[in-house]
Structure 1
Amino acid sequence: MQRRTSSKSSLFLLEMIFVILFFSLAAAVCVSLFAQAHAVSVKSSDLNAAVLRAQSAAECVKAEGAGFAELLDHAQSDGEDTLLYYDGEWRSTSQEGAVYCLRVTPVQTGDLFTAQIAVSRVGEEEPIYSLEAAKYL
């Protein structure tokens, strides 16, 4: 009587387990890379929109000097600072539905009017983008 100690099907099954394990690991790495790429894409689009809004505010400062707030739509005053709020799609909104905030801090020293412009997420200290605009009066 002959006995088989090993079968070909068990070798095939072991090979299939290794193949599935390899593809599972490769899929996990790809999903992780796609998630990181999405985060970088969102961050870069936020930076691009913040640069556009800050440059627009800087042009208003350069055009009007101390009266720049009249050129900015939906501008709100917070003591010395002028604030503009934007929703997640970068449309002007009120403070309640805001995701982003543009803060203009004006300083007048003699004939020089300067404004520090910073765009950040609401509730975060670190700005997405900031710049300084100046105008000689």
Structure 2
Amino acid sequence: MNDAGRSRSSLFLMEMIVTILFFSLAAAVCVKCFVSAHMMGKETYELNHAIAIATGYAEVMRGTAGDIDSIMEVFPYAIKGDDSYIMLFYDEEFNPCEAERAVYAGDVTLTPNGAVQNMHIKIVRADDASVIYELDATKYMNSARG
């Protein structure tokens, strides 16, 4: 009877070890799912804001004269590079900020092409310059309207 008791104890202990191992693996899978969901949510947050900002730049170009100066009137916090380039900086909540605190940046490049003004907009992460969203927009420059 003594050997039978030890046998049952060791069998019970092995079952407990297998059960703990199984639940540990299940917990690891659940944690991985939660981390993946969090990262996906952050990427979606960035993409949604980047799309809204890039679309805003394109709408301003289409609704104004379409040159850098008219865009600078709407976005006074932008930094003008030359007559065809501006850069804008945003914090972690996509609020405009100065370059030192920037988490995201928006690059806007205008390229005249005859009667057409092309705009290339790129929203990037400031730390590694990885592109979040890019948008190309075009405006017909009617000389009678400006």
TM-score, normalised to structure 1, is 0.91
Q: Helix, strand or coil for the counterpart of 1:36? A: helix
1:101 aligns with 2:105: yes
C-alpha deviations, 1:42-74, integer Å up to 9, x for none? Answer: 111100000000000000110111122211241
The residue number in structure 1 matching 2:144 is none
Distance 2:41 2:3 in 1: 59
| Contact 1:60-1:72 within 8 A present in 2 as well | no
Aligned counterpart in structure 2 of residue 70 of structure 1, from 73, 77, 89: 73
> Which has the bigger relative contact order, CA under 8 A and spacing at least 6?
1
Question: Any gaps of 5 or more consecutive residues in structure 1?
Answer: none
Structure 2: segments with no counterpart, 5+ residues: 142-146
The runs of at least 4 aligned residues of structure 1 exceeding 4 Å deviation read none
1:68-122 Cα offsets, whole Å, 9 max, x none, are: 2211241111233111100001110000000100111011122211110110111
User: How much identity, in percent, do the aligned residues show?
Assistant: 38
1:29 aligns to what?
29
TM-score of the aligned structures, taking structure 2 as reference length:
0.86
1-structure distance, mates of 2:76, 2:47: 21
